[in-house]
Amino acid sequence: MHPAFRHVARLGARALSTGTPTRRPYEGFVPLNTFENAFLAVGSAVMSLANPRRHDMIAALGETTAGPALPRMREHMLASPEGRRVLRERPRVHSNSVDMAALAALPDRTFGRAYVDWLERCGVTPDTRDAVRYIADPELAYVMQRYRECHDFYHCITHMPVSVEYEIALKYFEFANTGLPMTAISALFGPLRLTNAQRDRLFREYVPWALRCGASARPLITVYWEERWEQDIEDLKAELGLWDAPPAKWRKPRAQAGQLKASAPAPASPELPSM
């Protein structure tokens, strides 16, 4: 982490050790006052734009700018029986919680099989999501964690690979579906990193799809994805009001996917507490 942001983290840690002892709402929580939150929000935005590979800064940006979006997302979950179960049971998504071998053995066209094929085609794992640290309310912290860990499901079900261009397109989709400010910031400034041809294609093809599809779809934070592994992916898309993004360029053809590789154990991360 950049020294300036380590300083903010130390300030938060110091706040826990001075005055009356305060119970942390969850392991790893770092309290921030208004100034520290604003400082971290601005600094993480600058660092994220300068280096989009800084996942820690992108995570900090999402948490420090979430504002009223997270309570709205929680309200959507509470209004849905499926969403309420997610909030109550708090499932996590990583290679220790999801049986990737079992998903790879599912029939073609199921959501679970499509997900493991997507992971292999894109060369990614579900074990790279940062733990939430700066959101005081444990339930809202879980909502943010859930959004973060379900991001790859959105790629998979809309048939979008991983690249700067497609990540930006998905940020437009996520903003229309979740209202998280971080997604809007990424959507607005991310195109500066594209070539002219990529930028033209983004705004001509992907942004119109992303805004329409994201706005008309069911709030995806309410979906208990782990209960949908065996569902036909086309039926699932129809149920959620989703349709495929415009055709994208993949590094690996679909026919070459399906050979599940051994996944490394998920890195240890602080668990968010049950309510």
Cβ neighbors of 97 (< 8 A, separation 6 or more) are: 91, 266
167 among the known binding-site residues?
yes
Q: Residue for token digits 């079900």?
A: 157
76 among the known binding-site residues?
no
86, exposed or middle or buried, with CB in 10 Å at 0-12, 13-18, 19+? buried
CB 272 within 8 A of CB 142: yes
The residue type found at 188 is L
What is the Cα–Cα distance from 41 to 34, expressed in whole angstroms?
10
Angle at Cα 186 formed by Cα 191 and Cα 207, nearest 5°? 60
| DSSP bridge partners of 110 | 232
The answer to whether the Cα torsion of 65, 47, 183, 114 is positive or negative is: negative
CB 130 within 8 A of CB 59: yes
* Cα 22 from chain centroid (whole Å): 30
159 among the known binding-site residues?
no
The annotated binding site is made up of 151-152, 155, 167
The annotated binding site for Zn(2+) is made up of 151-152, 155, 167
